[in-house]
Amino acid sequence: MKPVAVGLVTGAAVGAGVAAASRGATLVPWPAKVRQAFPFILGGMVGVSAGMKAGIGASIVSAARGNGSGPITSVAPVLVGVGVAGGVVAAATYGRSVFLARMEQESRALDPGFSVQPASDLVSGGAGSAVGLSELGREGARFVGTATAPDDVRFVTGRDPVAEPIRVFVGVDAADTVPQRVGLAMAELRRTGAFDRGSLLVQAPAGSGYANATPVDVLEILTGGDCASVAIGYGLLPSFLSLGKVAMAAQTQRLLLDAIREECSVRAASPRILLYGESLGAKVQEAAVSAGPLDLDHYGVVAALWVGTPGGKPADVFHALCAAESITIDRPEQIPAEFDGRRPRVWFLEHDGDPVVRFRPELLLNRPAWLPSDGTRGRNVPSTMSWKPGITWAEALVDTFFATNIKPGDFKSLGHDYRADLGATVTAAYGLPCDAATAERLDSRLRELEVVRAARINGETPGSSTS
């Protein structure tokens, strides 16, 4: 059989088998067009790869035996293919750089509802701030521009607030280096009086600078505003395009925690230090305190909550380090009513069916613990989902792109969407006062705040919330 025929037959057979096996259940819903196309795309890619390998192998064997037109003409098509591939790679590299530059500019542009300087002087970008509004970036402006109001505290707790919340954000464009950005953050914390508050929440944002306001909302409301929060950006691109910045982001967190520790050491009283990271932000913050409890002790951390940490061996190692004083939950219903002995200092909130948590390179060839052969499955992991070498890895990879499907105010506890879990989990992790009736009002107000935030992002006039 000629080499070309060998390649075609092999590719078609392998591709058809992969396509047939790629029609099973996945962790999260996919758009219909993606669901329909996936088996053909994956089967085609695997088939082409297998076919090329088989064809090239047959060509080399044929040339070595002296068959056909000889080794030169047999290998020539391969050399031409390599040249074409090189051209495609060069064009793709240029296109990628243009695409990323455009995305960064979009992340710098402020939303219509957040393009005016904040009225409060207790947030970055406001009056007296060393950080200009334009230096916050889109995500930073959203974060500082949505601090909770006195009515939020009254509605949820029935009490008057004791202070106006402090929110500090330093965008990646605010300074050229990590130490300079940390210096700006510390200047902002001192300017606003953050170290005189009862709690200081240090949040590691996602790659684009996104800092989830919901856990901060919870802290501000339940402490009556007696708190401050701080986040420092390290990039302007989505998290899946920011994996190369984890080391720099972790350095940012370490330098910030070092500076906070030094500041607190010279004060008679200092705030409770709380940590929060979500998605890539969780990975970043865990890397910053990589010694686990030893680092948490060093920095005087009272409580840490990490949500939806991307899976992999680093996450496994960190979980093991913190095992003696941590709790891992899929949902708030798993929070114990009482704790035997000391309350956990480290909290991991990770959905059983979160593709970001479950995806890892090892899925390619190894059965994961969350898909055991006995059919046991966690919450929102389809009972019909099974592990298939290579295929499950590809399915989980696609899952990560559709892991969140957010409608403002419609809180879900599904995939990589943790909004429905945050009210209760933040309350428990940070040891905040909250009875059942208060928790119900808190959940209602968090949903309202998200709807208002979304309206401002779209340049709409937010509706008035009940109080």
Lowest mean pLDDT among 15-29, 108-122, 399-413: 15-29
User: At residue 449, does pLDDT exceed 50?
Assistant: yes
User: Which tokens go with 373?
Assistant: 């052969």
Write phi, then psi, for 360 (nearest 5 degrees): -165, 155
User: At residue 79, does pLDDT exceed 70?
Assistant: no
Quote the DSSP letter at residue 132: -
Which residue would you say has higher pLDDT here, 136 or 68? 136
Q: Report CA-CA distances (Å) from 211 to 214, 216, 256, 396.
A: 9, 9, 16, 25
Question: Regarding beta strands 272-278 and 301-307, do their DSSP bridges make them parallel or antiparallel, or are they unpaired?
Answer: parallel
Tens of pLDDT, residues 83-123 = 555 555 666 677 778 889 999 999 999 999 999 999 999 99
Contact predicate 18/70, CB 8 Å: no
**Whole-number pLDDT of residue 198:** 98
**Whole-number pLDDT of residue 72:** 45
Mean pLDDT of 434-443: 98
Contact predicate 62/74, CB 8 Å: yes
**Whole-number pLDDT of residue 147:** 98
**Whole-number pLDDT of residue 12:** 46
User: At residue 64, does pLDDT exceed 60?
Assistant: no
**Whole-number pLDDT of residue 39:** 72
Question: Which candidate, 25, 8, 93, 65, places its Cα nearest to that of 395?
Answer: 25
Tens of pLDDT, residues 348-384 = 999 999 999 999 999 999 999 999 999 999 999 999 9
Q: How many residues does the chain have?
A: 467
User: What band does 51 get if pLDDT is binned at 50, 70 and 90?
Assistant: very low
User: At residue 275, does pLDDT exceed 70?
Assistant: yes
Mean pLDDT of 191-217: 98
Contact predicate 171/233, CB 8 Å: yes
User: Which tokens go with 204?
Assistant: 């590691």
Mean pLDDT of 210-217: 98
Mean pLDDT of 266-272: 97
User: What band does 57 get if pLDDT is binned at 50, 70 and 90?
Assistant: very low
Which residue type occupies 47? G
User: Which tokens go with 112?
Assistant: 């219509």
Question: Which candidate, 225, 222, 229, 230, places its Cα nearest to that of 165?
Answer: 225
Lowest mean pLDDT among 13-27, 151-165, 255-269: 13-27
Contact predicate 235/245, CB 8 Å: yes
**Whole-number pLDDT of residue 338:** 87
**Whole-number pLDDT of residue 42:** 80
User: What band does 9 get if pLDDT is binned at 50, 70 and 90?
Assistant: very low
Mean pLDDT of 191-218: 98
User: At residue 6, does pLDDT exceed 50?
Assistant: no
Which residue type occupies 280? L
Which residue would you say has higher pLDDT here, 17 or 349? 349
The sign of the torsion formed by the CA atoms of 101, 129, 182, 179 equals positive
**Whole-number pLDDT of residue 49:** 57
**Whole-number pLDDT of residue 467:** 41
Mean pLDDT of 293-308: 99
Averaged confidence pLDDT in the chain: 88
- Interatomic CA distance for residues 362 and 209, integer angstroms: 29
Which residue type occupies 57? G
**Whole-number pLDDT of residue 439:** 98
Question: Which candidate, 343, 359, 344, places its Cα nearest to that of 308?
Answer: 359
SS3 95: helix
Q: Which alpha helices (H) appear in 131-270, and where do they start and end?
A: 133-144, 150-157, 178-192, 213-222, 246-265
Helix (H), strand (E), coil (C) string for 346-381: EEEECCCCCHHHHCCHHHHCCCCCCCCCCCCCCCCC
Tens of pLDDT, residues 133-186 = 999 999 999 999 999 999 999 999 999 999 999 999 999 999 999 999 999 999
**Whole-number pLDDT of residue 41:** 80
**Whole-number pLDDT of residue 18:** 45
Which residue would you say has higher pLDDT here, 3 or 208? 208
Q: Report CA-CA distances (Å) from 271 to 3, 30, 223, 307.
A: 72, 44, 12, 23
